[in-house]
Amino acid sequence: MTTIEKIKLGKDGPLVSKLGLGCMRMSSTWGGPVNDENESIATIQAALDSGINFLNTGDFYGNGHNELLISKALKGRREDAFISVKFGAIFHNGQWIGLDLRPIAIKNFINYSLVRLGIDTIDLYQPCRMDNSVPVEDIIGTVADLIKEGKVRYLGVSEITAEQLRKANSIHPVTALEIGYSLADRQIEADLLPAAKELGINVVAFANTAEGLLTGEMKAPLAENDYHNHFSRFQGDNLLKNLEKVEVLKTLAKVKGCTPTQLAIAWVNAQGDHIMPLVSMSRRSRLPENIKAMEIVFTADELNILNTNFASGSILGSTYLQR
């Protein structure tokens, strides 16, 4: 059985698994159907059994459903998990309606999360993004106060700019940055990734398969009701040309005896000891494949093939990751 490597989170943080479990898809965040709850709970427990201790959630995933789910999965084994919670997003009837990052709101959010999770302290607490509606000093300062109160252990941030990251870290040490990162989405390599490395901040990288583009399973045209159609990356000629790029990934995966998805995760993993692939799963059957991806090693030539074909800007069109 594969042993999951442990890494130190931030300069003064704890040891966590190099592979993280994203729990979002276990709940209905965008108004879709809820996955089988028993299977989701079993998936979390199987991940913990395999050595994955980093669990990522948001208080707005399923309007609190996700936190309640994690609470059920962690009964009697709280110490086995490192829990990362995002806050700030406001949904109504399955629709995103904005952010609330006011200090008074954050102090409200944290108490509801603690009750739903059934715990006394959240390990990593982070605004889901920042939109300049509230000063960075107020947002980070409030989380810093929660750390002093013992309700939070470490500060995280998510989907922000290099300038915001530096400012946040100057107010209170940031332990982890959660951000979308994949072969298809490399824009953060210009300034955000170097800033995080310089400051000693770990990167929790989600969307490793670029919303399914890099799985090798996507085909054009997409069904009319497919949510991908909202983004120009998955429309018309853009999708056709992007899928041509994915053929390179599929060919290399075949040579290495793995799946394109495993290769996409492995590439993110290979970008540094301070970078953690965060993989969303809601079924136990997905665990072995994703864990196995952490064993894949690239030759210099293989990395060159991937980095050349998937150079920044080579994937046409945008997604929600480009704002």
How much is the pLDDT for 3? 76
Q: What percent of the chain is modeled with pLDDT above 70?
A: 98
Average pLDDT (20-40) is: 85
Average pLDDT (223-239) is: 89
* Residue 35 near residue 26, CB atoms below 8 Å: yes
Average pLDDT (120-143) is: 96
Report whether pLDDT(33) > 80: no
Dist CA 122 CA 273 (whole Å): 24
Average pLDDT, the chain: 94
> What's the pTM value of the predicted model, to 2 decimals?
0.95
Of the residues 61, 125, 154, 181, which is catalytic? 61
Report whether pLDDT(323) > 60: no
Domain 6-210+262-296 has CATH 3.40.50.300: no
Q: Among candidates 212, 252, 217, 259, which has minimal Cα distance to 233?
A: 212
Angle at 124 between CA 81 and CA 177, to 5 degrees: 115
How much is the pLDDT for 13? 87
| Per-residue confidence band for 233, with pLDDT thresholds at 50, 70 and 90 | very high
Among 62-76, 84-98, 116-130, 135-149, the range scoring the smallest mean pLDDT is: 84-98
Report whether pLDDT(2) > 80: no
Q: Is 154 among the residues known to form the active site?
A: no
**Tokens standing for residue 70:** 């994690």
Average pLDDT (282-306) is: 96
Report whether pLDDT(228) > 80: yes
Report whether pLDDT(277) > 60: yes
